[in-house]
Amino acid sequence: MPQLPNYSEFAGRHWETGSVRNALAYQGFTAPHTNQPYSEALLMGVSGGAVFGYFFFHYEGYDPHVALLTRNTF
């Protein structure tokens, strides 16, 4: 597996926002209003934020199925 030189960003509160934040920070991207790496909170917000949704499926001959979604995946 290739290694990135001088990569030391392994922190993160969530695997999705943490990995995006770390990749952007490694490449030198900073928030213009703070000149700091983008925060995970900001990245969560611009990606659609925390949401909740559900889908209910009922097919003939099968038990009803409910899908609960806790991220903006729909």
- pLDDT tens-place string over residues 12-68: 888 888 999 999 999 999 999 999 999 999 998 888 777 777 778 888 998 888 877
Instruction: Answer yes or no: is 65 within a domain.
Output: yes
How many domains does the chain contain in total? Answer: 1
Contact (CB, 8 A) for 40 and 21? yes
In DSSP terms, 57 is beta-bridged to 65
Classify residue 1: in a domain, yes or no: no
The residue range of the domain holding 64 is 15-71
d(CA 61, CA 59): 6
| Amino acid type, 27 | Q
- Predicted pLDDT of residue 5: 87
DSSP for residue 71: E
**CA distances from residue 62 to 57, 58, 65, 73 in whole angstroms, order as listed:** 10, 7, 9, 25
Residue 4 domain flag: no
Residue with tokens 């920070």: 25
